Amino acid sequence: MNNKEIKTVNDEQKDITEELAKALHEAETKERAEQEEAIKAIKQFTDQDEDENSLGEITLKSIIGGDILQSRFMLKQVVFFMFLVLLAIIYTGNRYASQQDALLIDSLKVTLQEERYRVLTMESELLNASRQSEIVKELKANGDSTLLHSTTPPFAINKED
């Protein structure tokens, strides 16, 4: 290769490099412009002339369509609404647990009453069966005792000093 050809190749490389630099610069400028437009659009969306506590225009269409949920007031109250939902869940769970406890208490009261009646019945049967007349009847019915009623009344024995 001679000098002339080398110069031509170098000139072509410079031209290509310049074209690439120019295209890169144009792309960067275009990207910067798009970013600035996006920032302007975001600022315009966020800097609306809407009062902070305003709900915007409230119509049936905005309520049903869900547009009311995008108002600034609603967006600022999201944390509060989540807190209210959490409280509602805790309240519901607590109420359910207390109802379960009340049902358990009622069933235990019924069981306790039944056991009291059963104990009273057994006590009265035992008291009735332990009377002397009942014991004698039972012994006569079995026929395995030679016990008889005492014919002499009981008396007290006094101890002399």
Q: How big is the chain by its Cα radius of gyration, in Å?
A: 52
Quickly count: other Cβ atoms within 10 Å of residue 122's Cβ: 10
Tokens linked to 50? 């809407």
Orientation of helix 78-129 relative to helix 132-142, angle to 10°: 70
**CA proximity to 52, closest of 75, 69, 82, 80:** 75
134-147 pLDDT, tens digit per residue, is 887 888 888 777 77
pLDDT tens track for 27-61:
999 999 999 998 888 887 776 545 555 555 778 88
Identify whether residues 139 and 76 lie together within a single domain.
yes
pLDDT in tens, 103-124: 999 999 999 999 999 999 999 9
Q: In Å, how far are 10, 37, 41, 48, 91 from 34, measured between CA atoms?
A: 36, 5, 10, 21, 51
Mean pLDDT of the chain: 85
**E strand or H helix that includes residue 159:** none
pTM of the model: 0.42
Mean pLDDT of 66-71: 76
Specify whether 75 is located in the same domain as 129: yes
Query: Does the residue 148 lie in any domain?
Result: no
Which residue bears the tokens 């031509």? 8
> DSSP H helical segments within 2-153, as ranges?
3-46, 60-65, 72-76, 78-129, 132-142
Residues of the domain holding 80: 71-143
* 59: in domain: no
Total domains, the chain: 2
